[in-house]
Amino acid sequence: MDKRLVEFIRTLRAAGVRISVAESCDAMRAVEQVGVYERGVFRSALRATLVKEACDLPVFDYFFPLFFDTAAPPMFNIEQELTPDQQQILKQALQSLAGNPQALQQLLQHFVRGQPFDQSQLEQLSQQIGLPSANSLDQQGHYQRLMMRALSMNELRELLDRLEAALREAGLSEEAIEETMAMLRANNQALRQQIEHFVSSQIARNMGEHPPEKLDAQDLMHTPFRALSQEEVEALRDEVKRLAAKLRSRAALRQRRANDGVLDPKSTLRHNLRYGGTPIELRFRKRSLKPRLVLICDISTSVRYCAEFMLTLIYQLQDQVAKARSFIFISDLHEISDYFKAMRPEAAVREVLRRHPPGSYNTDLGRSLQTFFREKLDALDSRTTVIVLGDGRNNYNDPRLDLAAEMQRRARRVLWFNPEPQYQWGTGDSDMLAYAPFTSGVYQVANMAQLVEAIDRVMSDG
């Protein structure tokens, strides 16, 4: 059990849970006190000693059964459930399928007798498909499919259909056939669960012994949003806090310099006229660098990650922003500012995206601008910087360039962040080149590095 605990703790660490040596010792001592026979108590003891943060609870709950639930799934011994006459009919039906490959015949015997796969058999097959080299949860589905194929599980469905037809031809009653096939399907599901549990457990142990290499942050910063894998997205989400701290430090430094002020020659000369023009008292011009922002973000599938990261970064920098109001759109506009008043930025963004999933509806910025001018025009004044994030694709709807021009006239400036490569601007249903004249600048933000640079320029008020 000590070895299993060490493997479990090692895997939790590889999955990102912070566990110190002292906490590992606490877990060992707790298990000595409570034992392993009461599963609920045993699980609670490990959870209390190893998990410190609520965000790590799902990781613990996922890996615990992979290490400590070793019982094979329950299965039916179908031969024992039938009468002697029915057993004879089943035997004849199985013999009628004898022309199938030996592997399928053996698998069918597992089904009929309710026998789970032998552990040594699974381990031998895992070597053949290369499972010992797998050390990432993203590989689970791939290796589960390989195991299913190696065990002929995919061909079994057709064989079961043929068995049902053979039972019917042999004269078994419909009620008995229905019961027999229900037990066979239950056994099928149990064996599939055994394979899935075996593969997941092996990958979990591999993670502890050979942790996956950490993704290089610099490479991720320059990887296009549209090319990110789910693992890379998670890594960038972890990186956002560090990036926000870096941007905040830059903005705070610029703010201090602005508060010190720069020499104002005209005011100095005017103020020192009483001294005959001798500059005895110097005057400085101060300016605030905290921008007032209106964010209008497209959250359709093609730009969703970019919108998520921009909203998170901007609200992580809230102390460096004078005021911010945020809106999202796909087919129409919705304000989301209140989410950020009630929750932390990353939690607020997750909730917004959960409540507004991408769907079959098409992006329509023109309609969204119309809604903004009809219902949210109070967000706009001459001190406001508007940031529109989107690819400028309207699915051939009216882009409402007149409203884009009016927005430019009312706001201090309008900036556009576009995650698409520049060579795609203006192609197909893209209205980007039509919108560009009504902005103060268009920034390509195809990756995190470009997005951070663009936000930093906005925070510098440049």
Phi/psi at 426 (5° precision): 85, 0
pLDDT of 375 = 94
User: How many Å apart are CA 260 and CA 72, to the nearest integer?
Assistant: 72
pLDDT along the chain (462 residues), means of 10: 80 81 86 81 86 83 80 68 74 65 64 74 81 77 82 72 76 79 80 83 78 62 85 84 80 62 77 79 68 91 90 84 89 92 89 84 89 93 92 91 95 94 89 94 92 87 58
Q: Are the C-beta atoms of 4 and 39 separated by less than 8 Å?
A: no
| Segments in 130-173 forming alpha helices (H) | 140-150, 156-169
For residue 138, the model assigns a pLDDT of 73
Q: Residue 84 has what pLDDT?
A: 78
DSSP labels, 202-218: HHHHHHHHSPPPPPPHH
The dihedral formed by the CA atoms of 393, 397, 403 and 404, expressed in degrees to the nearest 10: 20
In this prediction, residue 71 carries a pLDDT of 60
Tokens of 116: 């789970």
Q: Give the model's pLDDT for residue 306.
A: 92
Residue whose tokens read 């576009």: 418
Q: Which residue carries 């005959």 as its tokens?
A: 276
